[in-house]
Amino acid sequence: MPEDEEQERNQTYGLISLVFWGLIVFWLYRTTNNILSPAFIITTLAIIPLAYFTYLVVSYVPKDENESRLHGLKPALRYIPVIKKPEGHVSFKMKMIWDFVILVLYFVLTNVAIFGLDQQRTLDLFSEFRAVMAGASGSIMHLGIGPIVTASIIMQLFAGAKIIKLDLTKEEDKAVYQSTQKLLVIIMIFVEAIPQVYGYLVPDSGFIQALDAISPGNGRFLAQLLIVLQLFAGSYLVFLMDEVVSKWGLGSGISLFIAAGVAQAIVVGTFNWEPMKGSTIPAGCIPKTIYYLTHLSAPQMANGGFERMFLSYPNPIIALIGTTTIFLIVAYFQSTRVELPLAHERARGARGRYPINLIYASNIPVILMSALLANISMFALLFWTNPAFKSWPIVGHNWMLGIYKPGQTRASGGLAWYLTRPRGVGDWLLPLVYPSRYLAGTGHAWIAVLVKVIVYLSIMILGSVIFARFWIETTNMGPKAIAENIQRSGMQIPGFRRDPRVLEKVLQRYIPAVTDFSGAFVGALAAGANMIGTVGNTSGTGVLLAVGIMIQMYEAMGREQMMEMHPMLRQFFGKEG
């Protein structure tokens, strides 16, 4: 960020914030009762930057009642490492090269295992959302895009609810918003990494012994600390790679990573010949089908063989059909749009159209919704099983939040169970049709399964609509911002006065309605795909995202090639000169 002018501060409020953090440090000291213990030293070092950020926000005196206190963070925000924007136009060829290099680096990092981790005893808290999180369990990319998306959710909710007073149509406020989000990403990396390390990412016993030899009695703590630092390094690399793609490449790094991970999972889920754990049956959909047809007799097929081949998890035939269906539906609706006629004010006869896609908010709402559900699932598991969280009043080991069986990361009861995605028809349809057979020993009645289906569908649809609205407003895709862009390009709607306010009223007829529809549509489609089932345990959300991302990438490539041939088009698309 650029150099800032001297900021006015209320030192009384700043002192109060520092006293607050000082009391927390004192409480930690009384808890550990050892000022030289590694736990106290590391925790205190983590609190120091939080205290500084709090001081900057609380002590800042806004210039007027409409200015956000987040402007007080400017002295700290300008030191956050960022990827510099290109000074001129980046050619289409170079953008594709950057995309390819970053994608190769992403796959390399997903195969770099966390040093000192006991892979056999590790539990993946994001196993149900692994495809959407764009990471790899047990690698330094274990957290994937989780911290980035979670920070985006928090900022959008705060901006949408007007808790933070930032006008994103102003360049200065938009810069503060983006820089604050980057700071929040760093904080969220530690928020998601530390709880996972303390109880689920288990250090190797040999690694602990080696560290004990260096610092007697502190081996486990140091091992956990090193794992946290590795997770931070991997997650921050993901963040920087996303910025490289966004500024130097084509599309979004997050979208690129999601599409790559989902595509890999679909291929493996369809063609994998390796047997399932504890079985001789291949795990892939096609090999499993061939195995059943060649190894089971007609009576065996009739007595459960067809059910296992067509409906049973993992990778049944119905999942392959569901995956293919989602591809076709998304491809069709992605190309459906409302087109507003435009005419140039000076070049008579020059006409064009402004397309408003039916899936206007793109696939962003389901990314945010999936990340939100993933965090709910993670914290529900932490409160149920983690020794540090189980003792918390009200929420600690509370069955209403979520019940988990030992060694499982998928909820078996409580709120988290109702929000857990179904893994195909075997999770809900068969229990509803044959409750005595499929619900025996689960502790659930058929009515509970029916309520779960209704709750899950409702949450996915309503949540996606809300996030679609927030996304449109925070990315300048609302009627006002689009009207101003059209005005600046010299275009207007024929038959209407050339005035941004008139354009805004016309766009108000379409954009809010299309935004709500697109949010509800992608939410329902993702939830419906989860209920049908998908190959590779990618989830309906993952397949939906992958298809949408690939279509958008194809369209972006077409636009870039057009702009290479006709540089004047860059002005209309708002690209660099």
Residue 374 lies in a domain: no
Residue 267 lies in a domain: no
- Determine the distance from the C-alpha atom of residue 439 to the mean position of all C-alpha atoms in its chain, rounded to a whole number: 32
- The string of pLDDT tens digits covering residues 129-146 is 777 778 888 899 999 888
Statement: residue 244 has pLDDT above 90 = yes
Whole-model pTM?
A: 0.77
Across 363-372, 374-383, 390-399, 517-526, the highest mean pLDDT is recorded for 517-526
Distance, in Å, from the CA atom of 104 to the CA atom of 96, rounded to the nearest integer, reads: 12
Domain interval for residue 51: 1-79
**Taking residues 381-393, what's their average pLDDT?**
82
Residue at which a domain ends, from 44, 79, 114: 79
pLDDT bin (cut points 50, 70, 90) of residue 577 is: very low
Query: Which long-range CB contacts under 8 A does 329-332 form with residues at least 24 apart?
Result: 329/525, 330/359, 330/525, 330/544, 330/547, 330/548, 330/551, 331/547, 331/551
pLDDT bin (cut points 50, 70, 90) of residue 502 is: confident
Residue 30 lies in a domain: yes
Statement: residue 474 has pLDDT above 70 = yes
Of the chain, the percentage scoring pLDDT greater than 70 comes to 93
**How does strand 351-357 pair with strand 337-344?**
antiparallel
Closest of 26, 554, 472, 498 to residue 250, by C-alpha? 554
Say which residue, 42 or 377, is predicted with more confidence.
377
Say which residue, 227 or 443, is predicted with more confidence.
227
Contact by Cβ (8 Å): 208, 223: yes
**Taking residues 232-257, what's their average pLDDT?**
90
- The string of pLDDT tens digits covering residues 49-65 is 888 998 988 888 888 77
Say which residue, 244 or 577, is predicted with more confidence.
244
Statement: residue 171 has pLDDT above 70 = yes
Distance, in Å, from the CA atom of 155 to the CA atom of 174, rounded to the nearest integer, reads: 12
Q: How many domains does the chain have?
A: 2
**Average pLDDT of the residues of the chain:** 83
Distance, in Å, from the CA atom of 104 to the CA atom of 133, rounded to the nearest integer, reads: 18
Helices (H) and strands (E) in the chain, counts: 25, 3
Single-letter amino acid code for the residue at 542: G
Contact by Cβ (8 Å): 54, 17: yes
Non-local (6+) Cβ contacts of 398 within 8 A are 383, 384, 414
Statement: residue 414 has pLDDT above 80 = yes
Residue at which a domain ends, from 54, 79, 104: 79
Domain with 471 in it: what CATH number?
1.10.3370.10
Tokens of 106: 């992403």
Of the chain, the percentage scoring pLDDT greater than 90 comes to 18
Non-local (6+) Cβ contacts of 16 within 8 A are 58
In 474-519, the DSSP E strands lie at 491-492
**Residue 403: beta bridge partners?**
413
- Confidence at residue 510, expressed as pLDDT on a 0 to 100 scale: 85
Statement: residue 2 has pLDDT above 50 = no
Residue 320 lies in a domain: yes
Statement: residue 575 has pLDDT above 60 = no
Residue at which a domain ends, from 22, 51, 79: 79
Residue 147 lies in a domain: no
- Determine the distance from the C-alpha atom of residue 568 to the mean position of all C-alpha atoms in its chain, rounded to a whole number: 35
Contact by Cβ (8 Å): 568, 261: no
Tokens of 397: 């080991």
pLDDT bin (cut points 50, 70, 90) of residue 209 is: very high
In 431-497, the DSSP E strands lie at 491-492
Across 267-271, 337-341, 393-397, 493-497, the highest mean pLDDT is recorded for 267-271
Single-letter amino acid code for the residue at 104: V
- The string of pLDDT tens digits covering residues 544-557 is 888 888 888 888 88
- Confidence at residue 351, expressed as pLDDT on a 0 to 100 scale: 64
Residue 32 lies in a domain: yes
**Taking residues 104-111, what's their average pLDDT?**
92
- Confidence at residue 238, expressed as pLDDT on a 0 to 100 scale: 92
Residue 309 lies in a domain: yes
pLDDT bin (cut points 50, 70, 90) of residue 100 is: very high
Residue 124 lies in a domain: no
Statement: residue 523 has pLDDT above 60 = yes
